[in-house]
Amino acid sequence: MIDLATNANARYADIALPVPLRQSFTYRLGPTLASRASIGSRVIVPFGKRLLTGYVLDLFDSIRSESDVDPSKLKPVREVLDDEPLLTKEIVELAKWTADYYLSFIGEVLRASLPAGLSRKGEEHFSITARGRDSLSGVLLPRYDREHLLTLLEQRESVSAKELAKTFGPSASKILRALSNEQLVSATHLVPGSGPQPKRRKIVRLLKENGQTSNDKPLTDVQARVLETLLNAGGEMGYVELLERADVGASPINTLAKRGRLEVTIDEVLRDPIGDNDLPTLNDFVLTIEQQNALNAIGNSIDQDEYKAFLLHGVTGSGKTEVYIRAMQMALDRGQSSLMLVPEIALTPMFSRRLRAVFGSDVAILHSSLSAGERFDEWRRIRRGDARIAIGTRSAVFAPLKDLGLVVVDEEHDASYRQHESPFYHARDVAVMRANLANATVVLGSATPALETFYNAKRGKYEYLRLARRIGERSLATAELIDMRQVFKKSGKDIAFSPQLLKAIDETWSNGEQSMILLNRRGFSQFVLCRTCGETIKCVNCDITLTYHKRERKLVCHYCNYQIDPPNRCPVCTSEYLYFVGQGTEKLEDELRRHFPRLRIARIDRDTITKRRDMERILTDFSRGDLDMLVGTQMIAKGHDFPNVTLVGVVSVDLGLGLPDFRSAERTFQLLTQVSGRAGRGERAGRVLIQTYYPEHYALRHAREQDYEAFYQEEIRYREKMGYPPFFALASILVRHSDLSVATDNARKIRRTLDSANASNICRILGPAPASLSRLKGEHRLQILIKSPNRKVLREMLDLGLSSAEKAGTDMRLVHTEIDPINLM
- Rounded Cα–Cα distance for residues 657 and 457 (Å): 26
- Rounded Cα–Cα distance for residues 115 and 104 (Å): 19
Task: Out of 486, 541, 583, 756, name the contact with Zn ion by CB under 5 A.
Answer: 541
Looking at the Cβ atoms of 638 and 736, the one nearer to ligand ADP is: 638
CB 316 within 8 A of CB 673: yes
Looking at the Cβ atoms of 104 and 673, the one nearer to ligand ADP is: 673
Longest Cα pair distance anywhere in the chain, in angstroms?
A: 108
Question: Within 552-571, which residues bind Zn ion (CB under 5 A)?
Answer: 557, 559-560, 562, 570
Position 786 contacts Zn ion (CB under 5 A): no
- Rounded Cα–Cα distance for residues 34 and 163 (Å): 31
- Residue environment code for 50-68, b if the CB has 16+ CB neighbours within 10 A, otherwise e: ebbbbbbbbbbeebeeeee
DSSP 396: G
Give the relative orientation of helices 708-722 and 451-458 as an angle to the nearest 10 degrees: 100
Looking at the Cβ atoms of 354 and 736, the one nearer to ligand ADP is: 354
Quick one: which of 52, 196, 186 has its CA closest to 130?
186
Contact pattern for Zn ion over residues 425 through 454, marking x by CB under 5 A? ------------------------------
Looking at the Cβ atoms of 252 and 319, the one nearer to ligand ADP is: 319
Q: Which does 746 bind (CB under 5 to 8 A by kind): Zn ion, ligand ADP, none?
A: none
Looking at the Cβ atoms of 59 and 529, the one nearer to Zn ion is: 529
Phi-psi region of 333 (alpha: psi -120 to 50; beta: other; left: phi over 0): alpha
Looking at the Cβ atoms of 639 and 768, the one nearer to ligand ADP is: 639
Q: Which does 573 bind (CB under 5 to 8 A by kind): Zn ion, ligand ADP, none?
A: Zn ion
Long-range contacts of 281-287 (CB under 8 A, 24+ apart): 281/357, 282/357, 282/358, 285/322, 287/319, 287/322, 287/323, 287/326
Cis peptide before 726 (omega within 30 of 0): yes
Position 546 contacts Zn ion (CB under 5 A): no
Q: What is the DSSP string of 298-326?
A: HHHHHHHTS-EEEEEEE-TTS-HHHHHHH
Looking at the Cβ atoms of 284 and 709, the one nearer to ligand ADP is: 284
**Region binding ligand ADP by CB under 6 A among candidate stretches 76-84, 186-194, 318-326, 450-458:** 318-326
Looking at the Cβ atoms of 5 and 572, the one nearer to Zn ion is: 572
- Rounded Cα–Cα distance for residues 412 and 320 (Å): 12
Q: How many CA atoms lie within 13 A of 667 on its CB side?
A: 19
CB 82 within 8 A of CB 36: no
**Region binding ligand ADP by CB under 6 A among candidate stretches 149-157, 320-328, 699-707, 736-744:** 320-328
Q: Which does 405 bind (CB under 5 to 8 A by kind): Zn ion, ligand ADP, none?
A: none
Position 692 contacts ligand ADP (CB under 6 A): no
- Rounded Cα–Cα distance for residues 367 and 361 (Å): 16
Position 321 contacts ligand ADP (CB under 6 A): yes
Q: What is the DSSP string of 1-70?
A: ----SB-TT--EEEEE-SSS-SS-EEEE--HHHHTT-BTT-EEEEEETTEEEEEEEEEEESS--TTSS--
We find the least distance from the C-beta atom of residue 317 to ligand ADP, in angstroms, to be 5
Q: Which does 634 bind (CB under 5 to 8 A by kind): Zn ion, ligand ADP, none?
A: none
Looking at the Cβ atoms of 420 and 721, the one nearer to Zn ion is: 721
We find the least distance from the C-beta atom of residue 320 to ligand ADP, in angstroms, to be 4
Task: Out of 129, 316, 336, 783, name the contact with ligand ADP by CB under 6 A.
Answer: 316
We find the least distance from the C-beta atom of residue 573 to Zn ion, in angstroms, to be 3
Task: Out of 123, 322, 403, 507, name the contact with ligand ADP by CB under 6 A.
Answer: 322
DSSP 85: -
Question: Within 631-690, which residues bind Zn ion (CB under 5 A)?
Answer: none
- Rounded Cα–Cα distance for residues 726 and 456 (Å): 9
Task: Out of 4, 152, 187, 471, name the contact with ligand ADP by CB under 6 A.
Answer: 471
- Rounded Cα–Cα distance for residues 639 and 97 (Å): 32
Q: Which does 321 bind (CB under 5 to 8 A by kind): ligand ADP, Zn ion, none?
A: ligand ADP
Q: Which does 656 bind (CB under 5 to 8 A by kind): Zn ion, ligand ADP, none?
A: none
We find the least distance from the C-beta atom of residue 744 to Zn ion, in angstroms, to be 18
Contact pattern for ligand ADP over residues 275 through 314, marking x by CB under 6 A? ----------x-xx--x----------------------x
Looking at the Cβ atoms of 557 and 699, the one nearer to Zn ion is: 557
DSSP 216: S
Quick one: which of 239, 269, 244 has its CA closest to 254?
239
We find the least distance from the C-beta atom of residue 591 to ligand ADP, in angstroms, to be 33
**Region binding Zn ion by CB under 5 A among candidate stretches 385-393, 456-464, 549-557, 684-692:** 549-557
Amino acid at 143: R
Looking at the Cβ atoms of 663 and 678, the one nearer to ligand ADP is: 678
What are the C-alpha distances in Å from 625 to residues 348, 369, 450?
18, 26, 34
Looking at the Cβ atoms of 317 and 660, the one nearer to ligand ADP is: 317
Looking at the Cβ atoms of 381 and 787, the one nearer to Zn ion is: 787
Q: Which does 557 bind (CB under 5 to 8 A by kind): Zn ion, ligand ADP, none?
A: Zn ion
What's phi and psi for 781, nearest 5 deg? Answer: -130, 125
- Report the side by side order of strands in the sheet with 42-47: 25-28, 12-16, 50-60, 42-47, 79-80
The three-state secondary structure class of 201 is: strand
Contact pattern for Zn ion over residues 567 through 606, marking x by CB under 5 A? ---x-xx-x-------------------------------
- Rounded Cα–Cα distance for residues 793 and 797 (Å): 6
Task: Out of 104, 113, 129, 318, name the contact with ligand ADP by CB under 6 A.
Answer: 318
Position 343 contacts ligand ADP (CB under 6 A): no
Position 580 contacts ligand ADP (CB under 6 A): no
**Region binding Zn ion by CB under 5 A among candidate stretches 80-88, 538-546, 659-667, 727-735:** 538-546
Amino acid at 316: T
Task: Out of 40, 122, 319, 768, name the contact with ligand ADP by CB under 6 A.
Answer: 319
Contact pattern for ligand ADP over residues 385 through 424, marking x by CB under 6 A? ----------------------------------------
Q: How many residues are present in the chain?
A: 825
The residues pairing with 262 across neighbouring beta strands, listed in sequence order, are 206
Q: Which does 196 bind (CB under 5 to 8 A by kind): ligand ADP, Zn ion, none?
A: none
Position 528 contacts Zn ion (CB under 5 A): no
Q: Which does 285 bind (CB under 5 to 8 A by kind): Zn ion, ligand ADP, none?
A: ligand ADP
> How many angstroms from the chain centroid is the CA of residue 753?
34
Q: Which does 531 bind (CB under 5 to 8 A by kind): Zn ion, ligand ADP, none?
A: none
A 10 A CB-CB count for 203 gives: 17
Q: Which residues would be at the binding site for ligand ADP (CB under 6 A)?
A: 285, 287-288, 291, 314, 316-322, 471
Q: Which residues would be at the binding site for Zn ion (CB under 5 A)?
A: 530, 532-533, 539, 541-542, 557, 559-560, 562, 570, 572-573, 575
